[in-house]
């Protein structure tokens, strides 16, 4: 089930919100837990058992990981923590990366005339996200930052919460632990605050991202011998915009849904394409993932406290993992290494600091955006040769123009939406639209709410009713 399917929008979401609104306040977590498992099962089917199995193991491990007043059993707790993390990571490796690993082994053995069976496993939906939630849960308990949950219903509400289960944002346990026992007293206010945010995300996804999708697909599906400078740049810029409005739209919908249910989920985007450095870009893009890797990988490795060499090593590790976290393909690994290398260069030469002069900031912002656009080509391309060929055409201008297939995909409507999306990207870095829409009572925010709720929401509903929508891009991760 998708946030933009009629089944979700017109039946599931209203039913869950009505139940939360009219039932006793203490029933909230139970309604969220049951609804979330139903939501997940409609898409995952039998793979729901994988999620339930991981939940059972992590729930029962939680109380045993809590430190006591003198921490007399630290070695036992540490062994248990490593075992539970190993189980979580192992499940992710098996389901998501076994196919990739066996493909590489089969390719090597083929060179020597041998054979090797290739695993063909279906990746359970959202496994990358709920694995990170489980790891956050056990690590935060082990560190003594939060107490373990003794109530399985509250635990299920955290792990399986349908707004963030499939594609985030990644909610660290410390960020939501204090909200799980909350007894809501302003349910109508929460719904009134969260619904415009949900509507904003729906508009970003259906009106902008889905409109750009056919044009982007036509560009990236162009055969290598027909690729041109214009097609390569049109596809790269189009995908840069499509991915942002698709993923940030999902995040807005998730945050809005969470708010309507009485939860404050963390922000995931803060106008990333306005960044003037790659370092700043990663403080603004998929922020919940960046914070997760910072807290559970980068800092435990030593962060930047043990000298430049170790800092660069830690950055390399984090971004190799970031690349592979998105998918078991060489293109994702190269994309992660590419961004890790850019961060190291910035740190080594002092370019990670925002320039003081306005002219320098404009120039650096343009450079950063171009570097990000090149990176997205690796992220979107079907394989490494295709990505390298497309980038080759981006850096070697020609005057061939567009093929008939691409030209037919560039309709007047899509071109207008592309230009509008570019205009939005080039707006100042602040304010960030989502939080402004949800919490501000200023006149601009009120006008934006009215526009989203009247014109935007109606248009998005028409697009959904006609079936002109596509799955969220981050569902594949």
CB 158 within 8 A of CB 262: no
How far is Cα 263 from Cα 156, in angstroms, rounded to an integer? Answer: 14
How far is Cα 62 from Cα 66, in angstroms, rounded to an integer? Answer: 7
Residue where the block lists tokens 């997760």: 292
DSSP 401: -
How far is Cα 98 from Cα 135, in angstroms, rounded to an integer? Answer: 21
How far is Cα 426 from Cα 204, in angstroms, rounded to an integer? Answer: 16
Q: Please tell me the total number of residues recorded for the chain in this structure.
A: 477
Nearest to 125 by CA among 205, 37, 60: 37
The alpha-helical segments, DSSP class H, found in 327-427 are 330-349, 358-380, 384-395, 404-409, 412-425
Instruction: Provide the token pair at 178.
Output: 């204090």
How far is Cα 15 from Cα 219, in angstroms, rounded to an integer? Answer: 41
CB atoms within 10 A of CB 143: 13
Query: Computed from CA positions of residues 74, 78, 80, 84, in that sequence, does the dihedral angle turn out positive or negative?
Result: positive
How far is Cα 127 from Cα 65, in angstroms, rounded to an integer? Answer: 23
How far is Cα 314 from Cα 321, in angstroms, rounded to an integer? Answer: 11
Instruction: List, by residue number, the catalytic residues.
Output: 326
Residue where the block lists tokens 């930047």: 304
* CA–centroid distance for 216 within its chain: 20
DSSP assignment string, 149-188? P--HHHHHHHHH-HHHHTT-----HHHHGGGTT---S-HH
């Amino acid at each position: 089930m998708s946030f933009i399917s009629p089944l979700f929008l017109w039946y599931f979401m209203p039913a869950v919100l009505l139940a939360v609104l009219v039932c006793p306040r203490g029933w909230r977590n139970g309604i969220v837990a049951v609804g979330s498992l139903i939501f997940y099962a409609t898409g995952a089917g039998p793979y729901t058992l994988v999620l339930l199995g991981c939940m059972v193991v992590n729930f029962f491990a939680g109380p045993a990981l809590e430190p006591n007043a003198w921490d007399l059993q630290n070695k036992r707790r540490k062994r248990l923590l490593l075992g539970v993390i190993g189980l979580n990571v192992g499940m992710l490796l098996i389901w998501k990366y076994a196919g990739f690993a066996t493909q590489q082994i089969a390719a090597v053995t083929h060179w020597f005339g041998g054979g090797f069976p290739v695993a063909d496993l279906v990746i359970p939906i959202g496994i990358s996200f709920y694995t990170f939630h489980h790891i956050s849960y056990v690590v935060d308990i082990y560190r003594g930052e939060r107490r373990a949950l003794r109530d399985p219903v509250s635990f299920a509400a955290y792990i399986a919460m349908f707004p963030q289960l499939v594609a985030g944002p990644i909610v660290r346990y410390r960020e939501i632990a204090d909200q799980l026992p909350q007894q809501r007293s302003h349910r109508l206010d929460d719904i009134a605050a969260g619904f415009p945010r949900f509507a904003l995300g729906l508009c970003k996804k259906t009106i902008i991202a889905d409109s750009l999708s056919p044009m982007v697909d036509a560009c990236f599906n162009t055969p290598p011998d027909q690729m041109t400078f214009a097609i390569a740049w049109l596809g790269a810029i189009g995908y840069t915009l499509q991915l942002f409005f698709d993923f940030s739209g999902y995040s807005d919908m998730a945050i809005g849904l969470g708010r309507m249910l009485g939860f404050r989920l963390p922000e995931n985007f803060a106008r990333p394409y306005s960044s003037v450095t790659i370092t700043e870009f990663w403080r603004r893009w998929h922020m919940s993932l960046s914070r997760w890797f910072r807290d559970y990988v980068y800092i435990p490795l030593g962060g930047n406290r043990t000298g430049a060499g170790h800092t660069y090593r830690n950055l390399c590790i984090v971004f190799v993992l970031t690349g592979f976290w998105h998918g078991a393909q060489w293109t994702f690994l190269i994309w992660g290494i590419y961004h890790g290398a850019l961060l190291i260069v910035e740190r080594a030469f002092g370019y990670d600091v925002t320039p003081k002069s306005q002219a320098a900031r404009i120039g650096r912002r343009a450079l950063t955006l171009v570097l990000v656009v090149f990176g997205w080509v690796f992220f979107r391309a079907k394989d490494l040769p295709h990505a390298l060929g497309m980038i080759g055409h981006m850096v070697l201008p020609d005057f061939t123009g567009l093929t008939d297939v691409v030209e037919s995909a560039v309709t007047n409507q899509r071109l207008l939406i592309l230009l509008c999306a570019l205009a939005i990207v080039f707006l100042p870095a602040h304010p960030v639209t989502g939080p402004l829409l949800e919490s501000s009572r200023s006149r601009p925010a009120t006008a934006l709410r009215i526009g989203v709720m009247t014109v935007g929401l109606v248009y998005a509903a028409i697009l959904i009713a006609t079936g002109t929508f596509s799955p969220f891009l981050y569902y594949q991760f």
